[in-house]
Amino acid sequence: MSTANENQGEKKGGKKTVGIIILVLVILALIGVIIYLLQQSREPEERRNEVITPDNVEQIIGQMDEAEFVEPGYYTVTMNYDWYFAAGDAVSSDAYVENTVGNTNPVYFDLFLASDEENAIYKSPVIPVGSRLEDIALETPLDAGTYDCVAVYHLVDEDQNTISTLRVTVTVTVEG
C-alpha cells in the first residue's frame, strides 16, 4: 500500500511542478507585454520631412515653441526664407542659417531650384551647433529674377553621417 501512496504523491508533486512552470511562463509573458507597451508609448511618432512655406511657417513655429527640447535627429530651423543677391554671382546681403544651441546635431544643407532637385546651386559647409552661416554666394550663378528653391537640410552625427533630413522652401531673388 505504501507504493500506491508514493505514486499518488509523485503525481500530485508533478502536477504542482507543471502548474508552477505555467504560472512562471504566464508572468514572464505579461512582463514582456508590459515592457513592450511602455517602449511603444515612449517612442516618438513617425515624423516625415515637412516643407515649410510662408503659408505654414507660423504653424510650424508654434509647434516648435510648444516643444520643450529638440530631440536627437530633429532640427529647429533658424533662417530667413527670402534671400536677395545683387547679382547671380554675388554674396547675399541678407541670407543666413543658424544652428541654434537648442539643436543637438551639426547640420549642412544643399539649395536646389524647386524645378531641379538634382543639381544643387549651393552646398553649405557643416554648421556646428551654436554657429551661424552668413555671406552665402551661390555656386551656380543665376540670371536676374525670382526663383522658388528648396533647402534640404542634413542632420549629421559626429562622423557626418546623415541622421535625418528636412526640406524648407526659400525664395531667391537676383537683382541683376
- What is the C-alpha to C-alpha distance for residues 27 and 1, in angstroms, rounded to an integer? 39
Q: Is the dihedral of CA 97, 169, 119, 117 positive or negative?
A: positive
pLDDT higher than threshold 80 for residue 135? yes
Question: Each residue of 12-38: pLDDT tens digit?
Answer: 567 788 888 888 888 888 887 777 777
Question: Each residue of 68-108: pLDDT tens digit?
Answer: 444 555 678 889 999 999 999 999 999 999 998 888 889 99
CATH architecture of the domain with range 57-174: Sandwich (2.60)
Of 176, 167, 175, nearest to 81 by C-alpha is 167
User: Reduced to 3 states, what is the DSSP secondary structure of residue 70?
Assistant: coil
- What is the C-alpha to C-alpha distance for residues 96 and 31, in angstroms, rounded to an integer? 51
**Domain definitions of the chain by residue range:** 1-43, 57-174
- What is the C-alpha to C-alpha distance for residues 128 and 10, in angstroms, rounded to an integer? 72
pLDDT higher than threshold 60 for residue 41? no
Q: Which of 49-58, 130-139, 161-170 has the lowest mean pLDDT?
A: 49-58
Q: What is the mean pLDDT of residues 129-148?
A: 94
- pLDDT confidence of residue 12: 58
Residues in the chain: 176
**Model confidence band, residue 57 (pLDDT cutoffs 50, 70, 90):** confident
Q: Tell me, what DSSP letter sits at residue 99?
A: E
